[in-house]
Every structure is written in C-alpha cells, then in structure tokens.
Chain A
Amino acid sequence: QSALTQPASVSGSPGQSITISCTGTSSDVGGHNYVSWYQQHPGKAPKLIIYGVSNRPSGVSNRFSGSKSGNTASLTISGLQAEDEADYYCSAYTISSAFDVFGGGTKLTVL
C-alpha cells in the first residue's frame, strides 16, 4: 500500500490559480471516484475540502475545485488568497482491500 504521489511544494501569487496533482494507480485513484482533498493549517486538524473527486462540502469556497484524469486527481485553487497557505493532502479508497491511502502532502506558499 504505497502513498499517493503529490508534489512537495507549489507556490503562487495572490489572485492566481494553482493546481496540485495526486497520482495513484488503477487500484485506487484510477479505479473509482472516491478521491478527497484536505487542507491543513499548522497545528490544526485537516479539513475536508473536496470529496468524490469534485464535490465541495457545505461552507467550502467555490475557489476550490477537483478533477481527475486516469490515475491522477487534481486540486485547483483559483483566486489565491493568503489564507490558502497550508498543506494539502489527497486521499483515495482502494476497493480491493477496503484500505484508504493518503498522498505525501503538498505545501502551498502564497507569495
């Protein structure tokens, strides 16, 4: 059970858009639509921001969007704001084993 692959860091200026990728295999990311994204600020618990590849929980800004192509899921944040600076993690379900797996995390810096 290997972690999903995310870039270690991304950066962008206020107002810009950035995209974070999450690459797995046909057994997890590519096998279904059970992919989620989480935002974690320092010292805080993670917060769910995208589930089911592209769905936003109530209260999450529509600046956050998700998509998937093949074995790679993506999180896009548009109109970057200083408060978006955080760590972002993807997760995916593995149907064959009923395991969940996280990506290694991506640190977003807002310049």
Chain B
Amino acid sequence: QVQLVQPGAEVREPGASVKVSCKSSEFTFTDYHIHWVRQAPGQGLEWMGWVNAKNGDTNYAQNFRGRVTMTRDTSINTADMELARLTSDDTAVYYCVRSSGWSKFDYWGQGSLVTVSS
C-alpha cells in the first residue's frame, strides 16, 4: 500500500525556518513528482510547488518563491520541504502529495501541523 509518512507537528517562532519530511514507501519514488500543499486552519488548499523525485528539478508557486526549498533524497525515498522566514500566516497543515499525472494528486500524506508562535 502506497504510503507517505510525515511528522505530526512542529512549532517555530516567527522568523525561523521549518523543514518537513515526507517518507515514501511501496512505490518507485523516482517515477513521480512530489508536491506540497498547505491548508491554514479553516481555510482551503494552497498549492506550493513540486520536486521531481528523479532529477531534483523544482517548480514553486509564485507566493513562495525565495522562501521555499523542496528537495529529495533518493537513497531513503524521502522528500523535504523547507520554508523560511516564518510568520503567523504560515500556521497550517502541510501535506506532501504524490502526483501520477498533471494535477492528479492520488496519494496524500497525513499532514504535518506547523504552528508559528512566539
């Protein structure tokens, strides 16, 4: 069964950075793009970008360019998303998502709650 496993929660102070990991299993990691999608409390889904697990290429949404870095480590089938210069507006659940086609997000991690608070 395809799995994307994320840590449960992280707490950071304003101005800090957070790195969220996404450990995949039961599929060929390098055949897919891994996307990151966030959801602020009570709000909708917001697409952040993707990393090509095969070659490491990335594409970031304009709202996050300059502040987000998506990487992958094929030796441990893990994708990471690091977001810098956090503010309270970045408090959200962050999901890693496998895409098996354009805009076809077929498997989702359970989400990691990132809370930004002093």
Residues of A within 8 A of B (CB): 1, 3, 32, 34-36, 38, 45-48, 51-52, 57, 89, 91-93, 97-105
Q: Is the interface of A mostly helix, strand, loop or mixed?
A: strand
Contact, CB under 8 Å: B47 / A51: no
CB proximity of B46 to chain A, nearest CB, Å: 7
A34 to B102, CA, bound (A): 6
Q: A89-B45, A100-B47 are in contact. Are A45 and B103 (CB under 8 A)?
A: no
Q: How many A-B residue pairs have CB under 8 A?
A: 65
- Could you show 22 A-B contacts with beta carbons less than 8 Å apart? A1-B61, A3-B44, A32-B102, A34-B102, A36-B103, A36-B104, A36-B105, A45-B95, A45-B109, A45-B110, A45-B111, A46-B45, A46-B95, A46-B108, A48-B105, A93-B102, A93-B103, A97-B59, A100-B47, A100-B103, A101-B47, A102-B45
Chain B residues with CB under 8 Å of A48's CB are 104-106
B residues 55-98 near A (Cβ < 8 Å) are 59, 61-63, 95
In contact, A46 and B47 (Cβ under 8 angstroms)? no
Contact: B104 with A52, CB < 8 Å? yes
Q: Which residues of B contact A (CB under 8 A)?
A: 35, 37, 44-47, 50, 59, 61-63, 95, 101-106, 108-111
Which of the listed residues A36, A52, A97 has the most CB atoms from chain B within 10 Å of its own CB? Answer: A36
Known pairs A45-B111, A99-B59; A105 contacts B44 (CB<8 A): yes
Q: A46 vs B106: C-alpha distance in the bound complex, in angstroms? A: 9
Contact in complex: A92, B105 (CB < 8 Å)? no
Contacts of B46 in A (CB 8 A): 102
User: Closest chain B residue to A45 by CB distance?
Assistant: B108
